[in-house]
Amino acid sequence: MPAFNIETCARPNILALEPYRCARDDYKDDGTNILLDANENAYGPAINHTDVTQDTTTTSSAPGPSLDFLTLHRYPDPHQHDLKQLLCNLRNTHAHTPKTLTPEHLFVGVGSDEAIDALLRCFCIPGRDRILTCPPTYGMYSVSAQVNDVGLVKVPLLPAPEFQLDVDAISQTLSSEEGKTIKLVYLCSPGNPTGSLLSKSSVEKILAHPTWNGVVVLDEAYIDFAPEDASLAELVTEYPNLVVLQTLSKAFGLAGIRLGAAFASPEVARLLNALKAPYNVSSPTVAIASYALDPKRGLNMMRENVSKLMTQRDRLLEELPKIPGVGRLRGGKESNFLLYEMLDTQGRPDNVTALAVYERLAEEKGVVVRFRGKEHGCEGCLRVTVGTEEEVGRFLEALRRTLEEVRGVKAGKDEERREEAASGVVA
């Protein structure tokens, strides 16, 4: 037998790692389910269906993604200059600064997750350094930190419904002795699962901390669902310690191509580009992303789909409070999902009720949402991705019936307990 022992060979922090989980780990898609759990774009990719039926074996006249399939035996462009310029064109609004983003400000990778991990490897020494997060927030920050044997410091967001940064607490932490080992602050705006857009002034106060030597990472995965000019990407031209993450997975409906971007100062972008694998983004990915970012092709379709999703978001905001058992909206309205409380029969946010609703919706109604009740400040909450008009209608009806069933069962059990207590019977 070989001497190999995984328990002593692997890094302890990897052995102890609990991987990021999603609702589809529990409920697989059989083609009939409505998937409102992962904040995807229900209207699909920002690609005209007629375009992808065209012959794309040449790049001269095909209206669709400009991919020459006869050159796939060649490695892709490692620098992606043209793609980066399209991303710059999208974010050069000059709403926050007269300065201009250039391709030298960009790193592109396999979703935002590659940049999240690359920043840790750039700035954090394993076993010594830490990152700071503000729960409730995206789970991959802590997963990546654990993978890299980097410590985690948590400063919770201010309580719902605002879910804004606790700037004083963050500043005090960064000023402390512990703060000397914090190299990265990961912020999410609009937040996941909160849907709240963080205050620009709060972010700038952290960036301007007088003694802390570290990088603020602002994750804007859902920024295209927020008000116009909400993105702070162009502020990387003003703050050398700011990195802004974005993705084509959400508003552009291109989760399947795994394309993310990190806007940063040229110095930080150079580090990230030096760290990456030589050909980390495939040629098909670049071609599809370039199509989607083209103002004459995919960009208009993205904006049309976002507009339709906003209409359905408004519909949910109007209809959900009318359903008995649905509580308060927690967080904001600046994303393609909403966070709502599920109430017990006493009118209190309740994890037991929310979990039962989550399970019954998926198992009996074929509607998959996301239970978030264990996240900080989210007791009794379900996160619901905004779907198409048909999907939203089916979800609302399914939720109404499921809450009636769950709360009816719970009310019956509560009545049994009261009768047992009155008769002296101990359950």
Instruction: Note the pTM of the prediction, 2 decimals.
Output: 0.85
Lowest-confidence segment of 36-40, 282-286, 407-411 by average pLDDT: 407-411
Tens digit of pLDDT for each residue in 84-131? Answer: 999 999 999 999 999 999 999 999 999 999 999 999 988 998 999 999
What is the average pLDDT across 70-83? 84
pLDDT, position 18: 66
Tens of pLDDT, residues 183-198: 999 999 999 999 999 9
CA-CA distance, 367 to 388, in Å (whole number)?
A: 13
Residues 244, 262: Cα–Cα separation, whole Å: 6
Query: pLDDT of 350-405, one tens digit each?
Result: 999 999 999 999 999 999 999 999 999 999 999 999 999 999 999 999 999 999 99
Q: Which domains does the chain have, with CATH numbers?
A: 10-45+300-417 (3.90.1150.10), 75-299 (3.40.640.10)
pLDDT for 86 equals: 98
pLDDT at 275: 85
* Mean per-residue pLDDT over the chain, rounded: 88
Residue 55: its pLDDT value, please?
A: 43
Residue 376 DSSP one-character state: T
Nearest CA-CA partner of 20 in 136, 158, 113 = 113
Q: In this predicted structure, what is the pLDDT of residue 247?
A: 97
* Strand-strand pairing, 130-133 and 259-263: unpaired
Beta-carbon contacts of residue 415 (< 8 Å; ≥ 6 apart): none
pLDDT-based confidence at residue 5 (cuts at 50, 70, 90): low
